Amino acid sequence: MIDNVILGILMEGPQTGYGLKSIIEQSVGFFYSASYGSLYPALKRLAEQGAISLLESDGSKNKKLYALEPSGRERFLEWLGEPLTRSRNEHLLKFFFYDYLAEPLRGERLAGFHAVLREELGRLAAVKQIVDKETEELENPENYRFRLSVLTYGFRYLEMAERWLGDLRSKETGKHHHAGQGPAAEENKDE
Amino acid sequence: MIDNVILGILMEGPQTGYGLKSIIEQSVGFFYSASYGSLYPALKRLAEQGAISLLESDGSKNKKLYALEPSGRERFLEWLGEPLTRSRNEHLLKFFFYDYLAEPLRGERLAGFHAVLREELGRLAAVKQIVDKETEELENPENYRFRLSVLTYGFRYLEMAERWLGDLRSKETGKHHHAGQGPAAEENKDE
DNA sequence: GTACGCATGTAACTTGTTACATGATTCG
DNA sequence: CGAATCATGTAACAAGTTACATGCGTAC
């Protein structure tokens, strides 16, 4: 996975490992993250395979600029052309079992997550505004259609999640029965 | 991760490794999957740690029923009580780079993914209907609130994704310029 | 001159997948 | 009695994280 992210970012021009990391955080950080522990070994590997190459020309000695080679570009485009698949949404796993979580904590967690969603929604909205403005000044915005649409996706996704959580929490209101046993519980039918 | 899934399912009663796998597929299969290669070693590990135990009582010799132990239950509930986090949505990664994918293939891939989404939407709708009906016959549906809401989440998620993809594809219609260069392309401004 | 951000890297570990290998049970 | 499905397991590999270790550049 990280190989393709690296190659994809190098499509726009040479970068250092450190630079790649910060670009990843800024651009696809919403749904993907990389650590140096995977980044640097990946760069080494890709260079050995000839997919990327080390540029010497830079002034600094401690900086390594990598550039995309034709074989790397080919490899990236091949990956890109494979059929799309949905990936796992592991955070739903916890929700699935949430009937088992006892009540004071459960409500807190839901509220906390709700806050996170709203915060991210706000941040994404800000980013979207900036990006949309920058896009206007571009001569060929058509070339960025998918990049932009991923932003839209992120936005709609958060909206959907926020709404869903809102609905879920509003059903809860005022019902402070002591839950906590969940599906398997045949006992405690009081209240 | 798989440890907690196993413990969570065992909350409802003893199961075999094989049984766990099929329950996982049927229940959380929409957003999580496990292979035997991780399942069986996990069962072994959990048993060694005393989180689960092997039941002898079963007739078959080749079947191993595992049951949740108190320490396993505790461990599961502790995990469950940790704050919620959003996980990665790696399939968006490909979309992010889709400006680079050349046109005949790109359209095909989008259409293919669209078909997958609609198919899953149909399947989930069917599941939801069955589950909703089953829920009516339950004495305490409140105990399944979160399990059910995850279904709703899946449904809304697919709806959102399907709508997003629909919007994206409709913008495309009739514009068969030869794309393929994407963001980095300063050339080919014809058409 | 020192603190902070830029910059690179490795080793141990974690978690999971794929492919293989094998045997029991059940149903037609 | 043969095929499908139930059922368990391992070995090799893949991909990544965390924690550690180090050094350069520069702005105050």
The chain-wide mean pLDDT, for chain B, equals 86
Strand nucleotide closest to residue B41 (CA to C1')? D9
Give the bases of strand C that a protein CB approaches within 7 Å: 6-12, 15-20, 23-26
Strand nucleotide closest to residue B88 (CA to C1')? D16
Does residue B20 approach strand C to less than 7 Å at its CB?
Answer: no
Select the residue of B32, B92, B109 nearest A93 (Cβ to Cβ). Answer: B32
Does residue A42 approach strand C to less than 7 Å at its CB?
Answer: no
pLDDT tens-digit map of A93-144? 889 889 989 888 899 989 999 998 998 899 888 888 888 888 888 888 888 8
The chain-wide mean pLDDT, for chain A, equals 86
Mean pLDDT in residue range B67-83: 91
Residues pairing with B66 in the sheet: B15, B54
Three-state SS annotation for B2-26: HHHHHHHHHCCCCECHHHHHHHHHH
Tell me whether residues A146 and B93 touch, CB distance under 8 A: no
More confident residue, A73 or B83: A73
Whether residue B93 has pLDDT greater than 70: yes
pLDDT tens-digit map of A8-32? 999 999 999 999 999 999 888 888 9
d(CA A49, CA A68): 12
Length of chain B counted residue by residue:
191
Q: Give Cβ neighbours of residue B169 (< 8 Å, ≥ 6 apart).
A: B107, B110, B111, B114
Mean pLDDT in residue range B132-147: 88
d(CA B24, CA A50): 42
pLDDT tens-digit map of A147-190? 899 999 999 999 999 999 999 999 876 555 444 444 544 444 33
pLDDT tens-digit map of B1-51? 999 999 999 999 999 999 999 999 988 888 899 999 999 999 999 999 999
Least confident of A51-65, A99-113, B123-137: A51-65
pLDDT for res A184:
47
Residues pairing with A55 in the sheet: A65
pTM value is 0.82
| Dihedral sign from CA coordinates of A73, A77, A78, A79 | positive
B176 pLDDT tier (thresholds 50, 70, 90): low
The alpha-carbon gap from A21 to the nearest alpha carbon of chain B, in Å, equals 15
Mean pLDDT in residue range B109-124: 90
More confident residue, B76 or B89: B76
Least confident of A36-40, A54-58, A67-71, B36-40: A54-58
Whether residue B189 has pLDDT greater than 70: no
Residue of A nearest to B185 (CA): A143
Task: List the A44 CA – C11 C1' distance (angstroms).
Answer: 16
pLDDT for res A111:
92
